[in-house]
Structure 1
């Protein structure tokens, strides 16, 4: 089994920023552990991001434990390869005990701990931390396999650049962060883009003299616990706001893209061959995204007024374009569309976790990462505890909370063992006296 032991007090599964953050906190507590990564450190950043990808949050929010961003552009937005370097440098900084190329194929309870079946043998653990996010399997709409085979179809996780796609027009399905940014990437390259718009909200990039993220941080939005949010746990199902850090950061305005020639449609509902059926909800979806955008602006306005902050006045967003006679059917061949990019997210796959710790939707039941199974933890999920949980800004706090709980559990276990030993010694003494 190479240099791996067959037993550890703690096994962390996943070698991305979440697993490494947990490792840093466990090391701070002096807790022996190993991090198992089935691929390589920061694998998804290396392999599931397009060439022009960059963060949508400013670099100053990169705050892995004891390793904040130290570059010269705190208000810039790291590119894909810079993000990978940041995570790899963090792993070296903490000397993380990562074992790459070791996949966990089954996790089950065993005695008072857990047994991990891996690609190189079994490993026992007293506690386990699942730091594998919730984005496991690329998801496309169920009718994708009914579309004409002449249409090139790829998922956003496989998209790299416009030249990757064959000549012709391109349909991007989905308007979350990835969908809008990929649509922009193609649009800027001069490709003719069609975009099926969903219900994702949007956020201003800059407002009243600062990045909106700076204002939202001042307002405590990234520290708001899930149980204090108006939607409670329901917020975990919300799509992220779309905006971009590209070229120093800017809004993504789909209406402006439409003025520039991008074709916008409502939500994609069904399809067969080269014929697609679309919803009539484009206007509603655009209006709702703008409502969220201006709602964020109003929140910042109130904060500025309440605290008497000197800040330039910026008008709220006013639509620059509105749809008329939006089609509810689209013929791919007649429209010259040769490719579809599915930016429809991922689904979770916990099938290898043989523990009764999931709800009816397959989501791990937990409180701040402490699951319903004693000794089992999750880290790195969106809104695990706060809005910052799925981001570099909040992952360290979640990792610290989980590591503290593991330490307390370990101390309690040692205390129980000590008390049990004392009782056994007392009983032996009593028997000797008789």
Structure 2
């Protein structure tokens, strides 16, 4: 698809589930628009997930506008190929005005209103712009990573594919959010020697008292709590996701059990110097805190069951199956341990420096209320905790996109020929 013109009432930047959900709803409202995607639609799902990737939330939580999960296993967990196929069916259902392989280099608010988008195929303008580009732009790699021996292969979570793609030898996985724990599990199940630097991420059980924990929490309204009802938006955004897995029908990720099975657990990685990795003295604390979070979630479910008078089976409290040994060595000789690869799983940093508009806080993060910024006609969709827990996930994209589509429809601006002449 090529440009039919150089100005559109609305331009959506990003061709993932957020961008195409917006497109679907704009088309429903007969609002002329264009969607621009740097790579291809659903690129992150296709190219930035490992081979064994699967959802950690049940399939029934997958819903795009007028396109809920359409398979026969609502309480299962789709693998990567199934997720992509489901999304491609959504795309095919309405054939969005999407241009793939186009880079938006800059977005600038114009003095007379509207926005100019500089692309590698020339400039465009729009009255309103929706930024559907997530906030996971640059992997967080610490400066001391440069001091790792050159022979050690380094990748971040988005570049990991499978154990066979890594050089032979042991692997150090850094970080225990969802990606770090699942990648460590993938390597562990493949028989690789795994060292895991354990951070403060919390964990949650897969099933409790006869149901998936996600089912209980959804019934309790947990996923519909607006961000402003939590401590602060910044604090909520900074929290790591609870680790659990949907692999093989879903199960807990218990790092203590991995340790019993031979995985080497360490505290948070602090630095690398002269071929030695040094870890913090916080392994026990991090494991205990993760278990405590899991216990609090279970207690809240117990309270809900009691209040509602629900007949549900009981379960004994979790008992730790492994404890870090006293005097655990906090240093690891990378050569002696045969570390051949390091996988960085400590998160991603946003980069919105290419957007010039009064819509950001002092850190450069979008300042908004449910995706609506102070810069008229500039919106964000798909950010973590844009409105609720589900905003950065498939679960609430349709709801958030509906809200913004209504705002866009109400704020439609007339064309301004005076600023089009210079770029037409």
Whole-angstrom distance in 2 between the partners of 1:269 and 1:372: 39
Whole-angstrom distance in 1 between the partners of 2:333 and 2:204: 32
The alignment covers a number of residue pairs equal to: 414
Whole-angstrom distance in 2 between the partners of 1:274 and 1:47: 32
CA contact (8 A) 1:227 1:233 kept: no
Whole-angstrom distance in 1 between the partners of 2:263 and 2:11: 48
| Residue aligning to 2:421 | none
| Residue aligning to 1:398 | 400
Secondary structure, counterpart of 2:314 in structure 1? coil
CA contact (8 A) 1:63 1:69 kept: yes
Whole-angstrom distance in 2 between the partners of 1:107 and 1:273: 44
- Per-residue CA deviations over 1:12-57 (Å, capped at 9, x if unaligned) read 0000001111112212222111110011000011111000000000
Q: 5 Å matches for 1:35-74?
A: 35-74=35-74
Secondary structure, counterpart of 2:289 in structure 1? helix
1:326 deviates by 2.1
Whole-angstrom distance in 1 between the partners of 2:316 and 2:385: 31
CA contact (8 A) 2:233 2:385 kept: no
| Residue aligning to 1:427 | none
Q: 5 Å matches for 1:112-191?
A: 112-191=113-192
Q: 5 Å matches for 1:10-409?
A: 10-110=10-110, 111-324=112-325, 325-409=327-411
TM-score under structure 2 length normalisation: 0.95
Whole-angstrom distance in 1 between the partners of 2:310 and 2:322: 33
1:95 deviates by 2.1
- Per-residue CA deviations over 1:45-104 (Å, capped at 9, x if unaligned) read 111100000000000000101000010111111101111111111111132111111110
- From the superposition, tell whether residues 150 and 373 of structure 1 become closer, same or farther in structure 2 (CA, over 3 Å): same
**Structure 1: any 5+ residue segments left out of the alignment?**
418-434
Question: CA RMSD, aligned part only?
Answer: 1.4
Whole-angstrom distance in 1 between the partners of 2:283 and 2:409: 51
- From the superposition, tell whether residues 130 and 232 of structure 1 become closer, same or farther in structure 2 (CA, over 3 Å): closer
- Per-residue CA deviations over 1:283-306 (Å, capped at 9, x if unaligned) read 110011001111110111111000
1:346 deviates by 1.3
1:247 deviates by 0.3
Whole-angstrom distance in 1 between the partners of 2:17 and 2:153: 33
CA contact (8 A) 2:197 2:268 kept: yes
1:3 deviates by 3.7
CA contact (8 A) 2:353 2:364 kept: no
1:232 deviates by 4.2
Whole-angstrom distance in 2 between the partners of 1:299 and 1:42: 36
Q: Tell me whether 344-353 or 255-264 shows the greater mean CA deviation.
A: 344-353
| Residue aligning to 1:429 | none
- From the superposition, tell whether residues 60 and 306 of structure 1 become closer, same or farther in structure 2 (CA, over 3 Å): same
Secondary structure, counterpart of 1:143 in structure 2? helix
| Residue aligning to 2:7 | 7
Whole-angstrom distance in 2 between the partners of 1:263 and 1:329: 12
Whole-angstrom distance in 1 between the partners of 2:140 and 2:5: 36
Secondary structure, counterpart of 2:57 in structure 1? coil
Whole-angstrom distance in 1 between the partners of 2:47 and 2:214: 27
Whole-angstrom distance in 1 between the partners of 2:364 and 2:60: 34
Whole-angstrom distance in 1 between the partners of 2:246 and 2:175: 19
Secondary structure, counterpart of 1:241 in structure 2? coil
Whole-angstrom distance in 1 between the partners of 2:163 and 2:59: 26
Secondary structure, counterpart of 1:215 in structure 2? helix
